[in-house]
Structure 1
Amino acid sequence: MREPQQDRSRATRRRLLEACVECLAAMGWSATTVAVVAEHAGVSRGAAQHHFPTREDLITAALEHMFDERIESARAELAAPRVVVTTEMVVSRLVEHFTGTLFKAALQVWTAAAADEALRERVVPLEQKFGRVAHRMAIEALGVTDEDETVHRLVQATLDLARGLGLADVLTDDSARRGEVVKAWAAHLDAVLRARRNVAIM
């Protein structure tokens, strides 16, 4: 039996979104056109433009789709049975998010948006959403409350650190130094969070 049209449409859309992120990360903003992404996804240009009339529609949808998938995957991993969630594990997952293909693709879009006001107006709200969701996921994974101002700032500092490590990894493999930084920061963060929990109990 042929798969229903709706299922084929969803599959086509997904291939385009995934191919778009891969093209951005590998080839950059200028080279990532609808035609190039369509070819990479094995989809006709007409079908691609049916789903995404403009390159900006395709790219912003791709970033949002992949971000949502990464967040859900991380949440599922941290919530899996018999998984002991440590502070270092949470920090490592956040850093991995900022050193992967999605971050490299997003970096291309941020750079283009800096000089394109119309694109910036689309990207800034998306980036703000990404920041809020990542912050909330970190709070949940660490088992702390965001009502504590110190905890809030530390989690934000962790996200800023992860982003900085991601930037350091763009041109050269920075994994060895990154691993040491993650261990050191995670140990500091864990000590402070333990102290804050003890204060809250008293």
Structure 2
Amino acid sequence: MTSEPKQDRSRVTRRHLLEETIDCLAEQGWAATTVSLVAQRAGVSRGAAQHHFPTREDLFTAALEVMFEARMEQARREATDLPTGAGRTEAVVSRLVEYYTGTLFKAALQVWTAAAADPELRARILPLEERFGRVAHRTAVEHLGFDDGDPIAHGLVQATLDLARGLGLADVLTDDSKRRAEVVRNWAAQLDAALPRGESAEPPCDRATRDVSGAERGGR
């Protein structure tokens, strides 16, 4: 039986550290999430963790970036499961809200809050936050099938993301799922009323499944 190549083991260890960082931040908070605790949860030594990420800030920013990329890639794959026609807008809004009520958002919120009082950490986080916002907006546009060149459509997509972020904040301390579902239904109805899709428009399902990686590279 051959042993696992060193490079592969290193890659697995790095990934495991990043995953544990996100979980630890979401569960334990900023103050409790130390490199030592993350290493312990990942089953490696502190020295091994620092080999991959020399500082706590390196670990946190890498974790947020990698986990966000994975989440957006998952969102693109899941686009094929979204309904077409009636009910699509509500399904898309619900999916967007899920992004802001999951573990990744709760972990990011811990880092965002700490960055507000730490200029060096803020300098690291701001470019990430801006990039996340651009990608989230493009993903929402693709899934909803709206024309982002229309100022009204652009504003409503951004309002949808702001709404999703607010609902995510409301869910941090208490389970807000029942009220959240009602808000999602009402907002989806508002979107459909404000921006009905004409038959000549590109089908939302085609827009949602289209590869947008090139557009993302252009927006970075």
The residue correspondences of 1:1-202 to structure 2 (distance < 5 A) are 1-80=2-81, 83-85=82-84, 86-194=88-196, 197=198
The code of the aligned residue for 2:16 comes to R
Structure 2 residue identity aligned to 1:142: L
Distance in 2 between residues matched to 1:157 and 1:199, nearest whole Å: 25
Counterpart Cα distance in 2 of 1:69 and 1:43: 23
The CA deviation at 1:127 is 0.5
The verdict on how the C-alpha distance between 1:199 and 1:151 changes in structure 2, with shifts beyond 3 A counting, is farther
How many aligned residue pairs are there?
Answer: 198
* Structure 2 Cα separation of the partners of residues 4 and 140 of structure 1: 40
Q: CA deviation at 1:199?
A: 10
Work out the CA distance in 1 between the residues paired with 2:80 and 2:61: 29
Task: State the distance in 2 between where 1:198 and 1:79 align.
Answer: 20
- TM, length-normalised to structure 1: 0.94
Query: For 1:111 and 1:138, how far apart are their aligned partners in 2?
Result: 25
- Give the Å deviation of 1:28: 0.8
- State the 1:7 CA deviation: 1.1
Runs of 4 or more, structure 1, over 2 Å off, are 197-201
Mapped partners of 1:133, 1:193: distance in 2:
22
* Residue 193 of structure 1, CA deviation: 2.1
Contiguous gaps of at least 5 residues in structure 2:
203-220
Report how far residue 198 of structure 1 moved: 7.2
Equivalent AA in structure 1 for residue 83 of structure 2: V
Displacement of 1:89? 1.1
Deviation at 1:42, TM superposition (A): 1.0
Can you list the C-alpha shifts for 1:140-164, whole angstroms capped at 9, x where unaligned?
1111221111110000000000000
AA in 2 matched with 1:99? T
Q: 1:181 Cα deviation (Å)?
A: 0.2
Long gaps (5+) in structure 1: none
Which amino acid in the other structure matches residue 89 of structure 1? A
Percent identity among equivalent residues? 69
The offset of 1:200, in angstroms, is 7.6
Q: Mean Cα displacement is larger for which, 155-164 or 39-48?
A: 39-48
Paired with 1:200 and 1:88, the residues of 2 have a C-alpha distance of 19
C-alpha distance in 2, partners of 1:47/1:200? 53
Distance 1:152 1:52 in 2: 38
Quote the Cα distance in structure 1 between the aligned partners of 2:89 and 2:106: 25
Residues 1-10 or 59-68, more deviating:
1-10
What's the TM-score once normalised by structure 2's chain length? 0.86
CA distance in 1, matches of 2:201, 2:153: 12
Post-superposition shift, 1:187? 1.2
